[in-house]
Structure 1
Amino acid sequence: MFRTGTPRLQFRWLMSQEHLELVELVPGAREFTVIQPTELEDPAEFLIPGAIILTVGISFVDGPERLTAYCRTLADAGATAVGLGTGLVFDEVPAELITGARAAGLAVFEVPRHIPFASILGAVGDERTRLGNIERQQLINSQELLSQHAVTGGLEAMGRKLSEVLESAVSIVDNDGRSVLRLDRGTRSATAAAVASIRTGRDSAGPTAAGDGFTYTYRMSSHGERCHVLAMESPGPIGPSGRALIRHAAGLADILLQRPAHLRAARAEMNTMAMALLLGVENEADTVDRVFGAVTDARGRVRPVIIHGDHTGTVERAVSVVDDALQSRGRYLYNLWVGPGSVLLLFRGTRGVRGIMELLGSSAAEVRVAVGSPVHWRELDTDMVHDLVIDAKTRPLGASGDSARARWLHDPAVRAALDTRAAQTWERLVDHDRVNGTELAETLVSYLRGHGRIAVCAATLGVHRHTIRTRLARISEVTEVDLSDPVVRAELLLVIVTRTGGE
Structure 2
Amino acid sequence: MSISLHDLARSLGLPVLAGDVSRPVGWVHGTELADPTPFLEGGELLLTTGLNALTPGYVERLVRAGVVGLGFGTGLGHDVVPAELVRQAGESGLGLVEVPREVPFIAISKAVSKALAADEYAALTRTSEAQRALTRAAVRGGVAGVVRRLGQWINGWVVLFDAAGEPVHAHNARQVPELREELARLGTSGGLASAAFATDDWHVFLQALGSRARGVLAVGTTEPLDADLNIVNTAASLLTLALAQNDAVDAAHRELRNGQFRLLLNGIPVEGLPERFRVFLADDPPDGGFWAEHDGRIVVLAAESDGHASSEVDRTEVARGYREARQAEKAGVRTFEELAGSLKVPEGFAESLLQPLDTETRETLRTWLGHHGAWDPAATELGIHRHTLKNRVRKAENALGKSLDSPGLRAELWLALHREGQ
- The answer for unaligned runs of 5 or more in structure 1 is 1-6, 282-503
Confirm whether residue 249 of structure 1 aligns to residue 238 of structure 2: no
1:9 corresponds to: 3
1:230 corresponds to: 217
Report if aligned partners of 2:138, 2:145 keep a CA contact under 8 Å in 1: yes
Change (3 A) 1:278 1:113: farther
The number of equivalent residue pairs is 262
Confirm whether residue 113 of structure 1 aligns to residue 96 of structure 2: no
2:21 partner letter:
A
Change (3 A) 1:214 1:125: same
Change (3 A) 1:245 1:221: same
TM-score, normalised with respect to structure 1: 0.44
Change (3 A) 1:77 1:201: closer
1:86 partner letter:
T
For 2:196, what is the secondary structure of its paired residue?
strand
1:29 corresponds to: 21
2:11 partner letter:
Q
> How far apart, CA to CA, are the structure 2 residues paired with 1:262 and 1:139?
31
1:219 corresponds to: 208
Deviation at 1:39, TM superposition (A): 1.6
Change (3 A) 1:97 1:205: same
Report if aligned partners of 2:214, 2:240 keep a CA contact under 8 Å in 1: no
1:151 corresponds to: 139
Which residue of 232, 246, 262 maps to 1:259? 246
> How far apart, CA to CA, are the structure 1 residues paired with 2:215 and 2:50?
59
Report if aligned partners of 2:19, 2:92 keep a CA contact under 8 Å in 1: no
Deviation at 1:212, TM superposition (A): 5.8
Deviation at 1:189, TM superposition (A): 5.3
* Alignment deviations for residues 217-237 of structure 1 (CA, whole Å, 9 cap, x no partner): 333336xx9533323344443
Confirm whether residue 135 of structure 1 aligns to residue 126 of structure 2: no
Confirm whether residue 197 of structure 1 aligns to residue 186 of structure 2: yes
Deviation at 1:277, TM superposition (A): 9.7
Confirm whether residue 81 of structure 1 aligns to residue 69 of structure 2: yes
Deviation at 1:125, TM superposition (A): 1.0
Task: Give the percent of matched residue pairs that are identical in Structure 1 and Structure 2.
Answer: 27
Confirm whether residue 49 of structure 1 aligns to residue 59 of structure 2: no
> How far apart, CA to CA, are the structure 2 residues paired with 1:246 and 1:16?
36
Report if aligned partners of 1:207, 1:238 keep a CA contact under 8 Å in 2: no
Change (3 A) 1:149 1:192: farther
Deviation at 1:178, TM superposition (A): 4.8
TM-score, normalised with respect to structure 2: 0.52
2:341 corresponds to: none
Deviation at 1:251, TM superposition (A): 1.8
Q: Which has the larger radius of gyration?
A: 2
1:303 corresponds to: none
> How far apart, CA to CA, are the structure 2 residues paired with 1:106 and 1:168?
33
CA RMSD of aligned residues (A): 3.8
> How far apart, CA to CA, are the structure 2 residues paired with 1:159 and 1:117?
47
1:141 partner letter:
E
Report if aligned partners of 2:187, 2:193 keep a CA contact under 8 Å in 1: no
Instruction: Point out the more displaced range, 50-59 or 199-208.
Output: 199-208
Report if aligned partners of 2:148, 2:170 keep a CA contact under 8 Å in 1: no
- The answer for unaligned runs of 5 or more in structure 2 is 261-270, 277-422
> How far apart, CA to CA, are the structure 1 residues paired with 2:242 and 2:135?
11
> How far apart, CA to CA, are the structure 2 residues paired with 1:92 and 1:9?
26
1:467 corresponds to: none
2:3 partner letter:
L
1:256 partner letter:
A
Which residue of 186, 193, 200 maps to 2:175? 186
For 1:59, what is the secondary structure of its paired residue?
coil
1:501 corresponds to: none
1:259 partner letter:
N
* Alignment deviations for residues 77-105 of structure 1 (CA, whole Å, 9 cap, x no partner): 43332211112211221222222222222
For 1:92, what is the secondary structure of its paired residue?
coil
> How far apart, CA to CA, are the structure 1 residues paired with 2:193 and 2:248?
32
Report if aligned partners of 1:171, 1:190 keep a CA contact under 8 Å in 2: no
Which residue of 112, 119, 126 maps to 1:124? 112
Deviation at 1:144, TM superposition (A): 1.5
